[in-house]
């Protein structure tokens, strides 16, 4: 789950199946009691119809948690992380960063760093479009050391400078669930 809309869809499916939940958060669900095999299969099928997937294996669950931490940090938090992100992620996930990084790269086909950069770029686009902050404020808000660093990274990803992007009439943005996904061209 990568958005509040996803959380609402999951809650609705749980209600339809008569399952009472304790927590429905980005990437995880905790239900009261046990789920029968039939309920589990129905939930899995219904979630797939909504474009969501019920994950069973630990590695996939770790990957989703990593993604959700990054999405929460980049898109939904006004707090600027004062520690190194690798330390922050290791502490939050209770795993060694090297293990998390290797697993993420193996499964996603991209690095955690590239995934973060993709999401930061999308968030910067959003902030530019809203027009509430200038580039200096956006750089500070997004944790960049300077406007030059933000501009350089933004241009590498989009091919445009932030100021050129601001001038475009057709500002292309991507849905959160599609950011950082390596597309298979075969």
| Predicted TM-score of the model (pTM) | 0.69
> Reduced to 3 DSSP states, what percent helix, strand and coil does the chain have, rounded to the nearest 5?
60, 5, 35
Domains defined along the chain, listed by start: 1-54 (no CATH), 58-186 (1.10.10.60)
Report how far residue 128's alpha carbon sits from residue 115's, in angstroms, rounded to the nearest whole number.
Answer: 20
pLDDT over threshold 70, residue 11: yes
Q: At what angle do helices 37-49 and 4-16 cross, to 10 degrees?
A: 140
Report how far residue 41's alpha carbon sits from residue 43's, in angstroms, rounded to the nearest whole number.
Answer: 5
Angle 47-126-177 from CA coordinates, rounded to 5°: 20
Band (176; pLDDT cuts 50, 70, 90): low
pLDDT over threshold 70, residue 186: no
């Amino acid at each position: 789950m990568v958005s509040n809309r996803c959380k609402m869809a999951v809650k609705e499916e749980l209600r339809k199946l008569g399952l009472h939940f304790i927590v429905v958060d980005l990437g995880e669900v905790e239900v009261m009691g046990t789920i029968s095999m039939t309920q589990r299969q129905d939930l899995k099928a219904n979630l797939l119809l909504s474009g969501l997937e019920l994950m069973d294996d630990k590695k996939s669950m770790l990957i989703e948690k990593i993604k959700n931490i990054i999405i929460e940090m980049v898109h939904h938090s006004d707090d600027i992380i004062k520690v190194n992100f690798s330390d922050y992620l290791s502490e939050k996930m209770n795993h060694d960063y090297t293990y998390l990084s290797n697993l993420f790269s193996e499964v996603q086909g991209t690095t955690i760093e590239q995934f973060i950069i993709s999401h930061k770029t999308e968030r910067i686009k959003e902030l530019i479009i809203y027009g509430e902050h200038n580039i200096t404020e956006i750089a500070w808000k997004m944790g960049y050391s300077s406007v030059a660093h933000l501009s350089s990274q933004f241009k590498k990803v989009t091919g445009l400078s932030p100021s050129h992007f601001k001038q475009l009439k057709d500002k292309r943005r991507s849905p959160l669930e599609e950011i950082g996904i390596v597309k298979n061209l075969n």
